[in-house]
Amino acid sequence: MKNWSLQKKTLDNKNLLIQESLFALGNGYLGVRGNFEEGYPENMNSIKGTYINGYYDVVDISYAENAYGFPQKKDKLPNVIDSQGMKILLDGELVSLFNGHHHSYTREIFFDKGMLERKFIYMTTCGKEAEIIFQRLVSNIYKELFLNHLIIKYDGEIEVKSCLNGNVKNYSKENDPRVSQENEELLTIKEIHIDSLFMSVKIATKNTDVEMACSTSHKIIGGVYESTIHESFGKGITLIKGNKHLEVTKYSVYTDALRYSKPLEDGKSILKKIMAKSFEEHLQMQVDYLDRFWKHADIIINGSDKHQLALRFSLYQLMQSAGRDQLSNISAKGLTGEGYEGHYFWDTEIYVIPLLLINQVESAKKLLLNRYNMLDAAREEAYMLGHRKGVKFPWRTISGRECSGYFPAGTAQYHINGDVAYSFIQYFLMTGDEEFVFNYGMEVLLETARLWVEIGHYDNGVFKIDDVTGPDEYSAIVNNNYYTNAIAKYNLLWAVKIFKMMKEKAPEKLDKLKEKIHFNETEIEEMKNISEHIYLPYDSELGIDLQDDSFLNKKKWDFENTREDQYPLLLNFHPLTIYRHQVLKQADTVLAHFLLEDYTDLKTMLKSYEYYEPLTTHDSSLSHCIYGIMASKLDKFNKAYEFFDESSRLDLDNTHENTEDGLHMANLAGTAVSVIYGFAGLRIKEDAIHIEPWLPKEWSNYSFYLEYRGRNIHVEISDKIKVVLISGEPVNIVINQSIYYLQNVVEIENERRKYERD
């Protein structure tokens, strides 16, 4: 089927690290990079990685000059036991794709099957050919299962050395703050067992002694085997021998002590159960799972194959990396690499959850619960920062502790509190799920709102917030960042609203919560007053919402004399040099205009966009999609399409030159969000869902599904706007600022289709 797979037909040695990320497989719990089973030459670099979401070690943070309250420890995602290895020998000759003895090479990841396949014809030095096929999947049914399937057809002796290796370490890269600087071995090998075809390795994190295990076994057609412990402790090898036709299915089960009381024993038990099914049966279950997924999650484009492929790639990789239990979230690089050390950021709340709320609500709910479970750690962080009440969510974390060693662009980003609150509010508006918001959301809203009361102050009747860093990390420690103040206003306002709702509908639950967090009802009135009087900086001369109090006092960055090879600026200029200029890493005030458009007017949005966009380097992968969404809002159709195109190809074309460290999850979400919130103009508001669609001239139509308060809705945009209520009760929907009663179908002319592109 067209646009349902990503395929490479050349080996392309130069970009193998990038392809390891692009061809990664995962299921929200387990992630495996797209490495070659048969391995690489010793002089060839590879990031051979397997990761478990939420499983981490704790390591020291080093400072040249320490200070009170600086985090002393950080979480780090370890590269865990490697079960990928399957070396092949044909008549004693080692198979390698790097000696030029192959042809008909293809590697393909199937979005509708959840399978990666690599196949080629290999020629031995004696002139005989072998057909070799590798297939693999990470199961969406059995989260612990990584499955390899190898088929070899060769008129001669075949040997396969299948390896289970606990001797692994993490990847590092010097002089890049986005990747770990230390090439660390984070794991200690505890046990290794060989029992016939079964091999098991148990390890534990070095500093926290949290165990995990991998157990593996094989089904073999056309061969015999023997298993041994390698001379290097922690490595087991199964030697499989055959002739002419050999088929090997390798079952690997990963279990960790966060989720299993006895990882090794539980893993062996799961493995025996899973092995009752063949590779083909597991593949069929994978296909059935993805049929259900795509039925609701797909965004269909007619008119651009490259964009359709990019969208499905984005949706598929996000599905593979998003945590599906309360112990995990979605890291900046997902489960595809070690960039940012596996940490979770605000990317979850502002980029990923808005997408999941469209038609994957249960997935969004799991991510919100993971944040809720961080509340106690966030209380400790607030106290460490000198606050008497409330929580301060960490800028980067796995466990809930702050892991940012550079506070000006990390801990100082207090807006993370508002971002988390925003996602809970958006969930409530989209679902109407009062039970969830009363049980979990209210506590988050009150505790985050308390912090704004703590850190702000009144000045001439308006409430101001000093010394914070907004989303634009090229402006640090500023007063009255517009985005921060606006998201604080929203946080405070909704804390008051939900409190009053809960007081009316669930007073007993509210009383228990007040007792739990020592909440005095007088705080609600204070929050209400602050939300009404919070300062949103505005420059009347330029007619723009002002990024912060000092932004216009700085000189503009000299873009004309900045070379291409000096971007991103953070890798080539001292932070102080950057901080002294009007230059943005990513959308800041413009992002606030997307999320909180009711706090300003269209004219101000337009002038702000036109002021800030030329000053933005887009060094952050989080930037293009936001500017594109606002370009759609402001009828800048050419710019909207250009930004969407840039976002959609960022990893596929490695435009930020660090895809090798893992895929950019926020940007993948941003690609899909650019269509739904950008081109379709979706906004989730208190009264209804709103859309203001337009159609790129290159496309004939596009469509997607929405789940809104128990209703399943289909939206199709062409020369007409067609909204269909598939199931659920009739509901109002706002299209181009007019209210329509959606009972069966609403179909109207698409006026914005007729606009000439700017």
Q: Does residue 465 form part of some domain?
A: no
Please choose, from the candidates 292, 526, 204, 298, the residue with its C-alpha nearest in 3D space to the C-alpha of residue 390: 526
Peptide bond before residue 696 is cis, with ω within 30 degrees of 0: no
Cα dihedral 388, 435, 730, 687 in deg (nearest 10):
-10
Rounded Cα gap, residues 465 and 492, in angstroms? 14
Tell which residue, 468, 421, 415, has the closest CA to residue 443.
Answer: 421
Residue 317 has pLDDT above 80, yes or no: yes
What span, in angstroms and rounded, lies between the C-alpha atoms of 448 and 372? 11
Q: Is the separation of the CB atoms in 285 and 141 below 8 Å?
A: yes
Task: Look at residue 552 and tell me if it is in a domain.
Answer: no
What CATH number is attached to the domain comprising 122?
2.70.98.40
Measured over the CA atoms of residue 515, residue 519, residue 520 and residue 522, the dihedral's sign is: negative
Compute the distance between CA of residue 395 and CA of residue 367 in angstroms, rounded to an integer. 16
Which residues are registered as beta bridge partners of 170? none
Task: Report pLDDT for 1.
Answer: 65
Question: In this structure, what is the dihedral angle of CA atoms 725, 729, 735, 738, given to the nearest 10 degrees?
Answer: 140
Q: How many helices (H) and strands (E) does the chain have?
A: 20, 31
User: Residue 640: is its pLDDT beyond 50?
Assistant: yes
Tokens for 659, please give them. 């895809």
468-499 residue pLDDT tens: 999 999 999 999 999 999 999 999 999 999 99
Per DSSP, 398 falls in state S
Among 166, 146, 147, smallest CA distance to 229 is for 166
pLDDT band at 224 (very low <50, low <70, confident <90, very high): confident
**Residues whose CB falls within 8 Å of the CB of residue 490, separated by 6 or more in sequence, listed in order:** 418, 421, 422, 425, 596
pLDDT class for 179, splitting at 50, 70, 90? low
Query: Which tens digit of pLDDT belongs to each residue from 529-561?
Result: 999 999 999 999 999 999 999 999 999 999 999
Segment 661-671 mean pLDDT: 97
- At 329-386, the pLDDT tens digits run 999 999 999 999 999 999 999 999 999 999 999 999 999 999 999 999 999 999 999 9
Q: Is 473 a catalytic site residue?
A: yes
Residue 185 predicted with pLDDT over 90? no
Is 703:716 a contact under the CB 8 Å cutoff? yes
637-648 vs 624-633: helix axis angle to the nearest 10?
Answer: 150
Reported as a single tens digit per residue, the pLDDT across 157-171 is 999 999 999 999 888
Residue range 138-146: average pLDDT?
98
Q: Which of 723, 716, 717, 720 is nearest to 740 (CA)?
A: 723
Residues 584, 587, 590, 592, CA torsion sign: negative
Number of domains in the chain: 1
Query: Parallel, antiparallel, or unpaired for β 555-556 and 581-582?
Result: parallel
Q: Given a cut of 90, is residue 755 above it in pLDDT?
A: no
pLDDT band at residue 297 under the 50/70/90 scheme? very high
Q: Which residue has the higher pLDDT, 330 or 223?
A: 330
Q: Which of 402, 404, 399, 382 is nearest to 391 (CA)?
A: 382
Q: Give the pLDDT score at 673.
A: 97
Q: Is the pTM of this model over 0.75?
A: yes
Confidence of residue 753 (pLDDT cuts 50, 70, 90): low
**Which domain range does residue 254 map to?**
5-265
Q: Tell me the pLDDT of the chain averaged across its residues.
A: 95
Residue 53 is assigned to a structural domain of this protein: yes
Token pair, residue 631, equals 């370009």
Token duo for residue 483:
């985005």
Position 176 pLDDT exceeds 60: no
What are 394's two structure tokens?
Answer: 């960490």
pLDDT single digits (tens) 74-120:
999 999 999 999 999 999 999 999 988 899 999 999 999 999 999 99
**b vs e for 215-245, b when ≥16 Cβ sit within 10 Å of the residue's Cβ?**
bbbbebebbebebeeeeeebbbbbbbbbeee
Please return the burial class of 339, using the count of CB atoms within 10 Å of its CB with bins 0-12, 13-18 and 19+: buried
Q: Which two tokens stand for residue 281?
A: 């049966």
Residue 192, domain member (yes or no) = yes
User: What whole-number percentage of the chain has pLDDT above 70?
Assistant: 97
Residue 248 pLDDT exceeds 60: yes
- Which residues does residue 217 pair with via DSSP β-bridges, in sequence order? 251
Catalytic annotation, pick one of 473, 523, 646, 660:
473
Report which secondary-structure segment, H or E, holds 671: helix 665-673
Residue 247 burial (C-beta neighbours within 10 Å; 0-12, 13-18, 19+): middle
Residue 317, in any domain of the structure: no
Check pLDDT > 50 for residue 710.
Answer: yes
**Is 437 contained in some domain?**
no
For residues 402 and 391, give the distance between their C-alpha atoms in angstroms, rounded to a whole number. Answer: 12
Structure tokens at 660: 């090798």
284's tokens: 């069929």
What's the CA dihedral at 3, 622, 366, 659 to 10 degrees? 60
741 within a domain of the structure (yes/no): no
Predicted pLDDT at 13:
85
Rg (the chain; Cα; Å):
27
Residue 473 falls inside a structural domain = no
Band (751; pLDDT cuts 50, 70, 90):
confident
Query: Is residue 219 within 8 Å of 277, Cβ to Cβ?
Result: no
Element holding 454 (H helix, E strand): helix 442-455
DSSP string, 565-595: GG-SGGGTS-HHHHHTEE-BSS-SHHHHHHH
Contact 647, 618 (CB under 8 A): no
